[in-house]
Chain A
Amino acid sequence: MEDLKLKYVYIDRQHACVDGVMLEHESQGGAMLSELYRAHIGDWPKFFKMDTLSKVGFLASDLLLKAIGREKPGEEYTSDCAVVLFGTTASLCADRNYQETIQDADNYYPSPALFVYTLPNIVTGEIAIRNRFRGETSFYVVEKADAAQMAFHLACAFDDDVTAGVLAGWVDSRHNDDFQAFFTMVTRDDAKYTDRLAAAIQTIMDNSNI
């Protein structure tokens, strides 16, 4: 990754790493996400209402954007930054949480707040809402990390005249305490490296144990 000069963020249930530097934290799993949010972000209380997939994606994207020099999300809406995410679990974790609210006929209170997260593209929406991105937002649910496939979709994101950068990443959440994310930002200048970037994501995910 070093020679690509792309900044990145990696998060799993025990670790959070920005550009090779581990972030300090005391808790693990879901509690770690809240701890990191309080320590590094803190100005977006909606965070606590999100499902785990969105929390991880939100945290990873915000830490990344900070690392590449953004102090605060812009006031202006932009269409030049696409969000293209990949993952295997999609909204499975939110699906389970919502299903529990309709499982028992004697205790039957479908939760709207849980239902709205039973879609994988809500995480891309949350990132877009935070950053006022109005460009492409995609979440590709895949069986496993496949470099060629990811490279293709990342390249497609630049097949227009407006996309200057792609917030690209991998995000999974199997349970509220079991998740993983890898986020990076690819600019149009870096677009020729999408093959290598995708290969790097594949390597990281192949070596993970989610």
Chain B
Amino acid sequence: MEEMILKLKQEIIEVLNLEDVKPEDIDNDAPLFGEGLGLDSIDALELIVLMEKNYGIKLQDPAKGKEIFKSVNVMADYIQKNRTK
């Protein structure tokens, strides 16, 4: 899981162009949205694309992202349970 979380953080940093953020800057339990990383609705959509592209998870309802992107831990957990690749 540790490895998976680090990989996921690197993927998030890459697709969201978080240039000055390092994996260790992202708290596993901190909310991805709201303050902190300063992410917005387009970033949420990019994370949905990331889940499809890298893990074969297709989300049809963007509102569902709100639950999944609560934190890196929650997201990693969701991916573990639902990944198809």
Contacts and interface: CB of A to CB of B under 8 A. Distances in A.
A210 to B, nearest CB: 25
Interface string A45-57: 1101100000000
A113 interface: yes
A112 B18 contact: no
Query: Which range contains the number of A residues in contact with the other chain?
Result: 10 to 19
Given A45-B38, A46-B38, A116-B42, A109 B19 contact: no
B26 interface: no
Contacts of A116: 42
A111 interface: yes
A34 interface: yes
B49 A45 contact: no
A113 B19 contact: no
B49 A112 contact: yes
Contacts of B38: 45-46
A111 B49 contact: yes
Interface string A83-122: 0000000000000000000000000011111001000000
B20 interface: yes
Interface in B30-65: 38, 42-43, 45-46, 49, 52-53
Instruction: Classify chain B: how many residues form its interface, as a range.
Output: 10 to 19
Given A45-B38, A46-B38, A109 B52 contact: yes
B4 interface: no
Given A109-B52, A109-B53, A49 B16 contact: yes
B19 A34 contact: yes
A111 B46 contact: yes
A39 to B, nearest CB: 13
A99 to B, nearest CB: 16
B18 A113 contact: no
A15 B48 CA distance: 38
A112 B44 CA distance: 10
A45 B15 CA distance: 14
18 contacts: A34-B19, A45-B18, A45-B19, A45-B20, A46-B38, A48-B17, A48-B20, A49-B17, A49-B43, A111-B49, A112-B42, A112-B49, A113-B15, A113-B16, A113-B42, A113-B45, A113-B46, A116-B42
Interface of B: 15-20, 38, 42-43, 45-46, 49, 52-53
For the complex of A and B, the 5 pairs showing the least CB-CB separation, nearest first, are: A112-B45, A48-B19, A48-B17, A49-B17, A109-B53
